[in-house]
Chains A and B, each alone.
Chain A
Amino acid sequence: MPRDQGARLALTQRQAAAILLLPFLAVYGVFLVYPFFKGVWISLHDWNLMAVAFNPDAKTYVGLRNYERVMWGQNITWGALANPGFQIVGFLGVVASYLLYRTGRAARVTALAMGIAGLLLFVLPGFHPGEGGRWFDRRFWPTVGNTILFVGLAVPGVTITAMLLAAALDGETRAKAVLRTLFFLSQVLSVTVVTLIWQIMFSPRQGLIANLTTLFGGSPIVWLTAEGFAMAAIVIATIWWSLGIAMILFLAGLQDISRDLYEAGALDNATGAKAFWYITLPNLKRTITVVVVLQIILHFQVFGQAHLMTGGGPNDTTQVLVRYIYQTAFRDSELGRASAMAVFLFVIMGAFSILQFVLGREKDE
């Protein structure tokens, strides 16, 4: 390179990179990396929000005590059928993942993830207080259970509805595009608008659903304060809200299925529902996994629906993990314990994020 040109390139590549990277790295370091480690640090302390705000030395290092106080108890024992609901599902999950893997119906990552999830679901709910024992925090595990139940209802609900809609609405016509827009629209609303709408929809006195029931001579259900119905109500609102992304992902997945397959299928009389079952479904396996993992990550962080529609009630049946963290930190001022729960949340989310990343990689290869 001639000298005069070299002089005009005032900045070397390294200097330019430093200038361009610095703004992001500074913000990233201060507002994400540092808070993350500070969160772990807080979780190792007895840290009262009010006390520390007035006197920064009012915190004491307690090691892993917060984790113990949140997750453990006195005289905890383990039984294979202590909590049969979750444990049987977990056990079946392990068996199913093994069978799916052996028969080659699921990829290794999928089977492994399913197996681990099943194993956890079998092992963890088996712990329970033995004779004379008790949990130190009797609300934590039920809260985790509610969160898993919510995920277990919302994810299949969203996935199946979205898949059927995508299969029906796949196509270039104008009518289909309009229908897709209508189904996607609720996705852009904020959680507070969604809960506003559904709170009044479910209201026993003014709600549209109650109005319909009375029209047909029934008596209205007190959705949001009746045990069992409250969870159903927030699941319904959630499915209505978050169907859009899943539907779009399925539409993208459908584009990758070759038209030739359907033409070949039509020769064998496979059209309509038959074609969906024998051609569409097997070829959507990867998309289904991606959508399911994505939805698990999304819905495990549920907060607004439970906070605004049911307030965690009735009788704690819709209390979810993020809401419990929020209350422990900002109502009870127990930042140490709340941070321990936040770390627990991070570990679960992290596992699914890694799975999501691995799945994303598989597609690129």
Chain B
Amino acid sequence: MNRSYYWLILALSIPAFLWLVPTIWMVSLSFQPNDVLARTTSSTALGLIPIPFTPDNYIALFRFGQVPMWFLNSLIVSLGMTLAVLAVSTTAGYALARLEFPLKGPIIVLCLMGLMVPEQAVFIPLYTMFADWGWHNSHHALILPRVAVPIGVFLMMQFFKAIPKDIEEAARIDGVGWLQIFWYVMLPLARPAMMTLAILTFLYAWNDYLWPLVSAQQREFFTITLGLASIQSNFAQAEGLGRVMASGVIASLPVVVLFLIFQRYVVRAMTAGGTKG
């Protein structure tokens, strides 16, 4: 560690702080009274320090308004999607990686092709299908389309392929069935990969905007991401800037906490999702 190293860190701290400024500003505004914000957003240190301070925006958020309900919807949809994706991806991934059966090659190719189809290319037909079935404005309508995206299957398939075969063969010789091997031997080994996939799915579900915008038209079924979009267009007049910013903080809290706790998995998940899907 020489002097040039400390200069480098110091020099990089400035852009890093600037990078954080928008986020700090959101948090700071959320703790300032709305009547002050209506006059000026730069009370103390350009508004980056919340003085005058008030927690009222958060209290109001949980007393009135729909933010708690949207938050709950987001939790249900994100957890539901995560569980469903884990279930279909681990099973299919294991079968494609370790079992022999007819048409295996064509099935893999068919699934690979699904990676090429962007959400925007199927959201119109999905809308008409769900409308025909009367499925819109429900939690499962927000969950199911993403469960069909094959990225998870490929992540799990690659993981299972890398596990040595002899573990499985030993179990086979002892007469253990395939499903038991999957459940008792392979799944426990796959925990890190499942964790990565779970975080990838949860982040996607929590932050998804286009499909909820199309499918959820009643405010009771908005996710927090969608609800936040619906209140930001008229932020200054209706609810007060501070309250809208507080909603933004609440909407970000789960993903930011998830990121800070499981940073390594998040980074791995986002790069895996980014480079392969």
CB contacts under 8 Å to A, within B176-206, are 177-179, 182, 203, 206
Given known pairs A240-B22, A329-B124, A345-B120, the reply for A190 and B89 (CB within 8 Å) is no
Q: Which residues of B contact A38 (CB under 8 A)?
A: 125, 128-129
Considering the complex, which residues of chain B in the window 54-96 have a beta carbon less than 8 Å from any beta carbon of chain A? 87-89, 91-92, 94-96
Select one of A8, A186, A308, A330 contacting B229, CB under 8 A.
Answer: A308
Does A81 sit within 8 A of B, measured CB to CB? no
Taking CB atoms, residues of chain B closer than 8 Å to A10 are: 177
Chain B: which residue is nearest A322 at the CB level? B120
- Which B residues lie within 8 Å of A25 (CB)? 92, 107
Measured in the bound complex, the distance between the Cα atoms of B32 and A200 in whole Å is 15
B100's nearest neighbour on chain A, judged by CB, is: A13
The smallest beta-carbon distance between B144 and chain A, in angstroms, is: 5
* In contact, A342 and B131 (Cβ under 8 angstroms): no
Contact B241 A206 (CB under 8 A): yes
Chain B residues 126-163 with CB under 8 Å of chain A are 126-129, 131, 144-145, 147-150, 153
Residues of A within 8 A of B126 (CB): 31, 35
Name A246's closest neighbour in chain B (CB-CB): B274
| Inter-chain contact A349/B209, CB cutoff 8 Å | no
Interface residue? A304 (CB, 8 A) = yes
The verdict on A196 contacting B16 (CB below 8 Å), with A38-B125, A189-B207 known, is: no
B107 CB contacts on chain A under 8 angstroms: 21, 25
Quick check: B121 and A36 within 8 Å, CB to CB?
yes
Nearest chain A CB to B17's CB is how many angstroms away? 8
Give, as a whole number of angstroms, the nearest-CB distance from B87 to chain A: 7
CA distance A350 to B229 in the complex (A): 30
B91 to chain A, nearest CB (A): 4
Could you tell me if B121 and A197 are in contact, using CB atoms closer than 8 angstroms? no
Shortest Cβ gap from A15 to chain B (Å): 8
A144 to chain B, nearest CB (A): 14
Contact A17 B101 (CB under 8 A): yes
Interface size (A, Cβ < 8 Å)?
Answer: 97
Cβ-defined contact, A208 with B118, below 8 A:
no
In whole angstroms, what is the CA distance A215 to B226 when docked? 35
Assess whether A283 is interfacial by the CB under 8 Å rule: no
**How does the 8 Å CB contact mask read for A24-44 relative to B, with 1 for contact and 0 for none?**
110110111111101101100
Per-position contact with A for B242-277: 1 when CB-CB < 8 Å, else 0? 001100100110011011100100110011001110
Residue from A49, A191, A196, A245 in contact with B271 in the complex, judged by beta carbons closer than 8 Å: A245
Q: Are the CB atoms of A24 and B92 closer together than 8 Å?
A: yes
A77 to B204 CA separation, bound complex (whole angstroms): 44
* B118 contacts A346, C-beta separation under 8 Å: yes
Shortest Cβ distance from B206 into chain A, in angstroms? 7
Q: Residues of B contacting A308 with CB < 8 Å? A: 229, 232-233
Task: Decide yes or no: A338 and B209 within 8 Å by CB, A16-B95, A19-B179, A33-B114 being known contacts.
Answer: no
Contact between A53 and B131, CB atoms less than 8 A apart:
yes
Interface residues as binary, A171-207 with B (CB distance below 8 Å gives 1, 0 otherwise): 0010110010111111111111101111111000011
- The interface size of chain B toward A, counting residues with CB under 8 Å, comes to 101
List residues of chain B with CB within 8 A of the CB of A8: 175, 177
Q: B115 at interface (Cβ–Cβ under 8 A)? A: yes
B226 neighbours in A (Cβ, 8 Å): 192
On whether the beta carbons of A196 and B210 are closer than 8 Å, the reply is no
A25 and B26 alpha carbons, distance in the complex (Å): 43
In chain A between 73 and 92, which residues have their CB closer than 8 angstroms to a CB of chain B? none
B170 within 8 A of A: no
- Are A42 and B125 CB-contacts (below 8 A) given A181-B263, A190-B252, A290-B275? yes
Contact with B along A231-249 (1 / 0, CB 8 A): 0000000001000110011
Q: Is A9 an interface residue when CB atoms closer than 8 A count as contact? A: yes
Task: State whether the Cβ of B51 lies closer than 8 Å to any Cβ in chain A.
Answer: no
**Residue from B20, B96, B125, B248 having most chain A Cβ neighbours under 10 A:** B125
A104 at the A/B interface (Cβ < 8 Å)? Answer: no
- Tell me whether B12 and A179 are in contact (CB under 8 A): yes
**A169 at interface, CB cutoff 8 A:** yes
The answer to whether B210 touches A322, judged by C-beta atoms less than 8 angstroms apart, is yes
Residue of B22, B87, B117 near A198 (CB, 8 A) is B22
List 8 A-B pairs, minimum CB-CB distance, nearest first: A16-B178, A190-B207, A24-B92, A31-B148, A38-B125, A24-B88, A346-B121, A32-B148
Q: What are 13 A-to-B residue pairs whose CB atoms are below 8 Å?
A: A25-B107, A168-B12, A175-B9, A179-B16, A193-B225, A195-B229, A206-B37, A206-B236, A245-B274, A249-B271, A304-B209, A353-B116, A360-B275
Q: A23-B88, A201-B25 are in contact. List 6 more A-B contacts (CB 8 A).
A: A23-B91, A27-B144, A28-B111, A188-B207, A192-B228, A240-B22
Spell out B's residues near A (CB within 8 Å): 1, 5, 8-9, 12-13, 16, 19-23, 25-26, 29, 37, 40-42, 46-47, 87-89, 91-92, 94-96, 99-102, 104, 107, 110-112, 114-129, 131, 144-145, 147-150, 153, 175, 177-179, 182, 203, 206-207, 209-210, 213-214, 225-226, 228-229, 232-233, 235-236, 241, 244-245, 248, 251-252, 255-256, 258-260, 263, 266-267, 270-271, 274-276
